[in-house]
Amino acid sequence: MARGAEKKKKTLEEHQESVSSAKVIEVLGSLGHKGGYQVRCKVLEGKDSGKVMRRNVLGPIQVGDYLLLTQTEIEASPLKGGRR
């Protein structure tokens, strides 16, 4: 093992502590041919609980689904163009 590799590995417990759940409250639009969508979601737990934010999600998604977010500080930039 290379030097410093021990520091980079996160244990399962540390990783689970950094995950926050969020509920999809609105689907804003498609990301094009990538098969993803931009959604507005509300963070349910963690230090940013109650925060409503915009995120990009790959795969099928609908209002009421739950997401597991590894970070809640960064928000996706708005989609360009109008709704179609």
The full set of domain ranges for the chain reads: 18-69
Q: What is the pLDDT of residue 21?
A: 93
Q: What is the pLDDT of residue 83?
A: 56
Distance (Å, whole) CA 80 – CA 54:
14
Q: Which CATH number fits domain 18-69: 2.60.40.790, 1.50.10.20, 2.60.450.10, 2.40.50.140?
A: 2.40.50.140
Q: What is the pLDDT of residue 2?
A: 58
Q: What is the pLDDT of residue 34?
A: 78
pTM metric for this prediction: 0.73
Helix (H) or strand (E) holding 14: helix 12-17
Residue ranges of the chain with pLDDT lower than 70? 1-17, 82-84
Q: What is the pLDDT of residue 11?
A: 65
Cα–Cα distances in angstroms (integers) from residue 49 to residues 39, 57, 76, in the given order:
17, 20, 18
Q: What is the pLDDT of residue 54?
A: 96
